[in-house]
Amino acid sequence: MGGVSTFATLSLRNLLIGQLGLPALTFPFQVVTWMWLLAAYNSAYFPVNGNVIAPSMKTAITEVSGFTTVSYNATECALAVFRNISEVVFLSNGITGGVILLGLLISSPWACFCAVIASILSLLTALGFGAAADSVHMGMWGFNAVLTGIALGHVFWRRGVASMLMCVWGSVLSTIAYSAIASLLGPVGLPTLTFPFTGISWLLLLSRTSIPGLHPITIAPSKVMTAASQQQQQAPSTAEQLIELPTSSPAETPGTGSPTFTSPADAIIVSEQTGGARGHVVWWT
């Protein structure tokens, strides 16, 4: 199925980037996993673990006996901040979450900050929602928010007030979307996976042109080489990474004459060798 997900990634990337200017994110993984799980229900050799994925039917509540509260363990809730992060790699372990946070801190303190904020917000949203204590303590309600927070607060847009607000808003929406999608897919025995992250990220990315203060991540002008300047240089003898502009000319950076990229499909890395070239979209794959 790994090979199938590769082809799904290529196909969905071309469709989403070409038509909507959206990254595929983890959608290929979700589609292939759902397909395999649905197929496995009819297989005698690949049984589905019913302890993890159990088909259940939702029944309408006809009577409300009174307002009830859900009890949460304070220590478990504190650990859930880290488990929200570890569940990104399908592990409910506070130590694992701490190690991942340390790696993020070393790689990018801002990404680490976005992950922590998203994890805390998802926990508070789940508590306010009255979610089942066990699933909250395990981190099931938070890993989508962590992914969304990092994507919207760090990956796609420059650091700023607007991107931080998108991080906050996306984290809360992803947590609510997790509950909705779990209710939708539960009756057919499918997990939510990271679809709340994908769906909410797409939703907010599509609104990017209508929200002031959002500035997409751009390639440094000093590293940009126009198609015309490429033709003037001697062809490299070994494989070399160059950056080529699309057919539509992007805006130029004031005072430099160098182009900047304002949409996902604008920047293309071209690996040019003698006799041929090939390319793929940068960071929006």
Interval 172-183: pLDDT, tens: 999 999 999 998
Q: Domain containing 151 — which CATH number?
A: 1.10.3430.10
- Please tell me whether residues 74 and 213 are part of one structural domain: yes
Structural domain count of the chain: 3
Length of the chain measured in residues: 285
- Please tell me whether residues 32 and 127 are part of one structural domain: no
Q: Is residue 236 part of a domain?
A: yes
- Domain of 43 in residue numbering reads as 1-48
Tell me the percentage of the chain whose pLDDT exceeds 90.
Answer: 40
Q: For position 87, what pLDDT does the model report?
A: 95
Q: Name the least confident of 35-44, 110-119, 125-134, 221-230.
A: 221-230
| 201-230 CB burial, b ≥16 within 10 A, e <16 | bbebbeebeeeeebebbbbeeeebbeeeee
Query: Is the pLDDT assigned to residue 281 strictly greater than 90?
Result: no
Q: What is the pLDDT of residues 232-254, one digit of tens each?
A: 444 444 444 444 444 444 454 45
- Please tell me whether residues 234 and 277 are part of one structural domain: yes
Tell me the percentage of the chain whose pLDDT exceeds 70.
Answer: 67
Q: What is the pLDDT of residues 45-95, one digit of tens each?
A: 777 766 555 545 455 554 555 567 889 999 999 999 999 999 999 999 999
Hunting for tokens 């917000």 — which residue is that?
Answer: 121
Stretch 109-138: mean pLDDT: 95
- Please tell me whether residues 134 and 259 are part of one structural domain: no
More confident residue, 251 or 216: 216
Q: Count other Cβ atoms within 10 Å, centred on residue 49.
A: 8
Where among 217, 243, 271 does a domain terminate? 217
More confident residue, 128 or 210: 128
DSSP-assigned letters across all residues of the chain: -HHHHHHHHHHHHHHHHHHH----TTHHHHHHHHHHHHHHTT-SSS---TTTS--------------------HHHHHHHHHHHHHGGGT---HHHHHHHHHHHHHH-HHHHHHHHHHHHHHHHHHHHHT--HHHHHHTTTTHHHHHHHHIIIIISB-SSHHHHHHHHHHHHHHHHHHHHHHHHHGGGT---TTHHHHHHHHHHHHTGGGSTT--B----GGG---HHHHHHSPPPSS-EEEEE--SSPPPBPTTT--B---SGGG-EEEEEETTEEEEEESS--
- Please tell me whether residues 112 and 190 are part of one structural domain: yes
Where among 217, 235, 263 does a domain terminate? 217
How does residue 99 score in pLDDT terms, banded at 50, 70 and 90?
very high
Q: Is residue 202 part of a domain?
A: yes
Q: Is residue 205 part of a domain?
A: yes
Query: Is the pLDDT assigned to residue 145 strictly greater than 50?
Result: yes
Q: Count other Cβ atoms within 10 Å, centred on residue 37.
A: 17
Sign, CA torsion 170/175/178/180: negative
Q: For position 115, what pLDDT does the model report?
A: 97
Q: For position 146, what pLDDT does the model report?
A: 97
Q: Is residue 158 part of a domain?
A: yes
- Please tell me whether residues 84 and 210 are part of one structural domain: yes
Stretch 130-145: mean pLDDT: 94
How does residue 185 score in pLDDT terms, banded at 50, 70 and 90?
confident
- Please tell me whether residues 229 and 145 are part of one structural domain: no
Q: What is the pLDDT of residues 187-197, one digit of tens each?
A: 888 889 999 99
Q: For position 237, what pLDDT does the model report?
A: 43
Q: For position 89, what pLDDT does the model report?
A: 94
| 126-154 CB burial, b ≥16 within 10 A, e <16 | bbeeebebebbbbbbbbbbbbbbbbbbbb
Q: For position 111, what pLDDT does the model report?
A: 95
How does residue 30 score in pLDDT terms, banded at 50, 70 and 90?
confident
Q: Is residue 53 part of a domain?
A: no
- Please tell me whether residues 13 and 92 are part of one structural domain: no
Q: Is residue 81 part of a domain?
A: yes
- Please tell me whether residues 78 and 181 are part of one structural domain: yes
- Please tell me whether residues 203 and 94 are part of one structural domain: yes
Where among 179, 195, 217 does a domain terminate? 217
- Please tell me whether residues 81 and 29 are part of one structural domain: no
Q: Name the least confident of 23-37, 133-147, 269-283.
A: 269-283
Q: For position 1, what pLDDT does the model report?
A: 65
Query: Is the pLDDT assigned to residue 231 strictly greater than 50?
Result: no
Distance between CA 39 and CA 121 in Å, rounded? 36
Distance between CA 196 and CA 148 in Å, rounded? 9
- Please tell me whether residues 182 and 226 are part of one structural domain: no
